[in-house]
Amino acid sequence: LADTIKREFDPDVIVGIARGGLIPAVRLSHLLGDKLLRVIHVKYYKGVNLHLKKPELYVDIKRISGKVLVVDDVTDTGTSLEFVLKHLKRKGAKEIRVATIAYKPKSRFKPDYYRFETDKWIVFPWEEAPLKRGGQ
C-alpha cells in the first residue's frame, strides 16, 4: 500500500481517522518519509451493522492545507469518509486522497488506495478486547 501511494502521491499531511485508522496512519507516516500526522475522530458505527443516523465529529482539526492523505482501516458504507472529505475541504485542504486497508465493494465511496476487498466484518489485531486485569 505504501509503495503505491509513494509512487502516485506525495502528501503534505496524513490525517488518521480515530480510532481504527490511527495505527495504519502512523505506519504510513513513517513509510512515506515521516509525514506530519494529524488526527480526526469521527464515529458512525456502534457495533456490527449498527450505526448512528449520521457521523459524529468528536475531535476536529482547526485548519489544514495542501495535499492530504486520509487514512482509515475500512471503507465500509463510505459515509464516514465522505463526511471527513467534505469537512477537510471546508477546512482548507487542496487535494485529498484516501487510503484504507480494506474496501467493501458495496460502499458508496471507493478509496484511492486499499490493500484488499472483502464483504465481511473485520476485526484488526489492534481492535482486540483489552487484556484482563493482571495481564491475562
CATH number of the domain residue 36 falls in:
3.40.50.2020
Domain total in the chain: 1
Domain for residue 132, yes or no?
Answer: no
Give the pLDDT band (50/70/90) at residue 134.
Answer: very low
Over 70: is that where the pLDDT of 91 sits? yes
Q: 95-111, pLDDT tens digit by residue?
A: 999 999 999 999 999 99
Q: Which three cell numbers stand for residue 11?
A: 502528501
The DSSP bridge partners found for residue 41 are 18, 59
What pTM was estimated for this model as a whole?
Answer: 0.85
Over 80: is that where the pLDDT of 88 sits? yes
**Predicted local distance difference test score (pLDDT) of residue 71:** 98
Boundaries of domain holding 61 = 2-127
Q: What is the DSSP string of 74-128?
A: EESSSHHHHHHHHHHHHHT-SEEEEEEEEE-TT-S---SEEEEE-SS----GGGS
Domain for residue 135, yes or no?
Answer: no
Domain for residue 12, yes or no?
Answer: yes
Which one has a higher pLDDT value, 46 or 89? 89
Which one has a higher pLDDT value, 82 or 48? 82
